[in-house]
Amino acid sequence: MKTLIPPVLIAAAALAVAAQTLRQAAEARHFHIGTAVQARLLTDPAYSATLAREFNQIQPEGEMKWRVLRPSQHAFNFAPGDAIVKFARSHGMRVRGHTLVWHEAVPAWLEDGHFTSREMSALLREHIDTVLKHYAGSVYAWDVVNEAFNEDGTMRSTLWYDKPGIGAPGPYGYLERAFRLARAADPHALLFYNDYNFEAGGKKFEAILAMARDFKKRGVPLDGIGFQCHLKLGSLTGAQLEHTMRAFTALGLQVQVTELDVRLPVNAAGQASPEDLAQQAKLYGEVVHACLDVPACTALQTWGFSDRYSWIPGKFHGFGAALPFDVNYQPKPAFESLLSVLLKG
Ligand code: XIL
């Protein structure tokens, strides 16, 4: 005997399917849900289909870092970054730029170049000016400086910090100069400071907050703080995140979750336990919930979307399965949790 499905059930199922992407749920509430992407994967149909369906904002994982943009001192390579901008444009997505000043992903010619403070200063100016002008109108926000503080709240020793001559006077020398140069190069771009492991509070959080206060007081152009949120189970609660976000939004700054992933212990096949996947889903839900609760939290991005291409297994030995889609682009519990909070939370 043939079972007939009542039309009303079919209609309800169709409706549920229609509202079942992160992108649709985000757009219904005018929210930006983003992810880090790799230009080389944009031509892979499975990758690009999931990307365009689920997200309305993207950020290059490496293509706008010095190592890719500056293959040699006198040449810029914009092609991979441009491919990302092009993809975004044809799929109605915004682009976040990442990152102008960082101690990692620096080309050897710069790292080993033995440049004087004066030369470093000129390089910083040329870089920020050229890159922001190239992407003006295409990149709406930049991580101007990434990861400038140590865990204890002191400034990290880097190729930039260790050349005091390149910055403005004062404790935040090179950071202040980078923000001022960025504003001058593209007055329309939103300028972010981005960091990790301060989301739950502590000395690094206090140090970033002190800098943000100082910048606001003295008119240094800072528009927002990026909360990377590279998490593991138990490292953060939604309440802590909301608390630290509000400390910045009280200064008139925006905040964004910029690099969310939740790494889990995995077996030799790269698989996590069902219990951990459920806990991971809960944490994803708490993070997006905190962001939606804070009016000046203006976007949430994951650091990649499929476990197939996550940076976690290469960086944290024995960990993986950190993203909302598995290696075959199938939605995981974390996806369901993000979706349900975006739909109703
Ligand atoms: C990571 C990339 O995902 C890796 O592929 C690369 O090897 C190293 O950088 N914080 C950041 C990101 O701001 O730029 C980093 O991205 C992850 C940590």
Q: Is residue 259 annotated as part of the catalytic site, yes or no?
A: yes
Question: For residues 14 and 272, what is the distance between their CA atoms, to the nearest angstrom?
Answer: 32
Contact 51, 37 (CB under 8 A): yes
Alpha carbon of 248 to ligand 1 centroid (Å): 24
- pTM for the model stands at 0.94
Which residue, 123, 119, 57, is CA-closest to 89? 57
Of all protein residues, the one whose alpha carbon is nearest to atom 7 of ligand 1 is 311
Q: Which residues of 55-81 are buried (b: 16+ CB within 10 A; e: fewer)?
A: bbbbbbbbbbbbbbbbeeeeebebebb
Query: Is the pLDDT score of 16 beyond 80?
Result: no
Q: How far is CA 297 from CA 32, 42, 231, 287, 294, in A?
A: 10, 28, 18, 11, 5
Catalytic one among 54, 242, 259, 286? 259
∠ CA(319), CA(321), CA(323), 5° rounding?
125
Catalytic one among 54, 147, 199, 286? 147
- Backbone conformation region of residue 159, classed left if phi is above 0, alpha if psi is from -120 to 50, else beta: alpha
Alpha carbon of 314 to ligand 1 centroid (Å): 11
Question: For residues 164 and 336, what is the distance between their CA atoms, to the nearest angstrom?
Answer: 48
Of all helices (H) and strands (E), which one includes residue 178? helix 173-185
Of all helices (H) and strands (E), which one includes residue 90? helix 79-90
Atom of ligand 1 lying closest to residue 36 CA: 3
pLDDT of residue 5: 53
Alpha carbon of 61 to ligand 1 centroid (Å): 7
pLDDT of residue 4: 52
Task: Tell me which residues have their CB closer than 6 angstroms to ligand 1.
Answer: 61-62, 146, 228, 259, 311
Alpha carbon of 310 to ligand 1 centroid (Å): 10
Of all protein residues, the one whose alpha carbon is nearest to atom 3 of ligand 1 is 311
Q: Is residue 119 annotated as part of the catalytic site, yes or no?
A: no
How many residues make up the chain in this entry?
345
Residues 18-33 pLDDT 10s: 559 999 999 999 999 9
pLDDT of residue 15: 47
Residues 161-216 pLDDT 10s: 988 778 877 789 999 999 999 999 999 999 999 999 999 999 999 999 999 999 99
Position 7, amino acid = P
Question: For residues 198 and 192, what is the distance between their CA atoms, to the nearest angstrom?
Answer: 15
